Structure formats: C-alpha cells, structure tokens
Amino acid sequence: MERLDKIISSQGKYSRSEVKKLVRAGLVLLNGEKVKSADVKADADRDTISVNGEVISYKKHIYIMLNKPQGVVSATDDPVHKTVIDLVPPSLFRQGLFPAGRLDGDTTGFVLITDDGDFAHRILSPKNHIMKTYHATLDHTLTDEDIKAFTEGIELRDGTLCLEAQVKMLSEEPPVAEVRIHEGKYHQVKRMFAALGNKVIALKRVQMGGLELDGRLKEGECRELTPDELKAVTG
C-alpha cells in the first residue's frame, strides 16, 4: 500500500502537487469513491484509480525504445546538447527516466530508456552476455584476418583487451559491417576497428539482445516496449 498521490504522480502525467489540487476539486476517485485526502493509502495493482475521468493504468516501471539521431547525447541532462530524455513525449515521460547504456553523440539507433535500475544493470552487465548489434560503415572492407581478430578478442591501442565478438561484412560498396558485442567499453566499436587500422564513418545500433530496432521508428521517435519485446531484450 502506498499514498495515492505518490502512485498517481509516479505515472508521469501529474505532479504530487497537481494531484492534491485535483483531490480538493473532487476529481480523483478510488474504487468509484471521491477521495478526500491525497495521502490516503491504495494498492496500485488492485484498486481502481481515476483522475479527471481517466482510469490510471498503473505500471511500476516503463521501458521505451528510442531511435536516437546523431548529435543527441545519451544522458539525463546536458547544459548544451539535446538528450535522449528530451525526446521522450509527455505521454511516456515520468521522473527517473535514464538511458540503459550509452551511445556516442554521433552514433545513431536503438537506445533503451527506463526507470528500472535493476533491469538496466542486468542488460548492461557483461557477465549476462546481452548482445548489442551494430552496423558500421567503414573506411575499407575487412580482411579475413580482421574477422578472425574479432573472434579472438581485439587488443585496443591502449592495451585494453576486448572479449571475443562477432563481425561480418554486409556490403562491400560502401563497406558496411555488422558487429555483435556484449561489452560496453568507451567508444568500443570504433576503437576495435581503429586497432585494425580501419575507421568507422558511421555507426548505428540496430539490436539489443533478441530485440531489433523497430524499422517504423524514424530518428528521434520512440515507443513503449511490449512485455514480449522486453523479454526478447534479456532473452
């Protein structure tokens, strides 16, 4: 059981102060009865809560797929650049949202945004082997030796050793490679190619775990994940 104003405000549409004003106006109902105080206790999973005629569909956490454009930073706040959180529409926004894993400012594609810290830890931990798949446009085509180096684990120029990864060429002109890694080191994909004397011209994350980026999402657009899609990320 939790305070009613906390339950309602956690869903993002109303602040706690707004909930209190709505209660005083008689616009908040709990199981069909007008609420007299915002601090009344309720069970979010069992009770029916409505605000201004709209039933609250309570969700403890939210999980959002964003197709990140270039130039947007993977942060909750930035004094200069637009952040991935700035792209979340009011209908999906709630306090505590953050990107579960980062993409460089010039990298595009799949960013998962959530307010569930435990889930984020699970998908980001290398020991859980959640694969992240990228499409990298390169300066030149990979050789067989390059591909073998990925499978054995590339040593970066600063001596850092990356775990084994998967790579294959998708096209020769322009040279585009698909890379699958289950780590998240700083600028890792770019640094892996650089260690082989190649340069990443453009980079896009297209899949997390078993879930592909929705091809219908334009850059800058996002949507909530379904329960099955959420399972696919960790599966």
- Contact, 176 vs 137, CB < 8 A? yes
Give the chain's length: 235
Closest CA to 25 of 47, 2, 52: 52
Q: Exactly one of 47, 86, 104, 214 is catalytic; name it.
A: 104
- Going through 39-131 in order, the beta strands assigned E by DSSP cover 41-42, 49-51, 54-55, 63-68, 98-99, 108-114
* Strand pairing class (49-51; 54-55): antiparallel
- CA–CA gap between residue 222 and residue 214 (Å, rounded): 9
Where do runs of H (alpha helix) occur along the chain? 4-9, 16-24, 117-124, 144-152, 188-195, 227-234
The reply to whether 104 belongs to the active site is yes
13 contact partners, CB below 8 Å, separation of at least 6: 51, 90
Contact 209/232 with Cβ under 8 angstroms?
Answer: yes
Query: What does the DSSP 8-state code read for residue 7?
Result: H
C-alpha dihedral sign at 22, 24, 26, 30? positive
- Helix, strand or coil, per DSSP, at residue 86: helix
Which of the residues are catalytic? Answer: 104
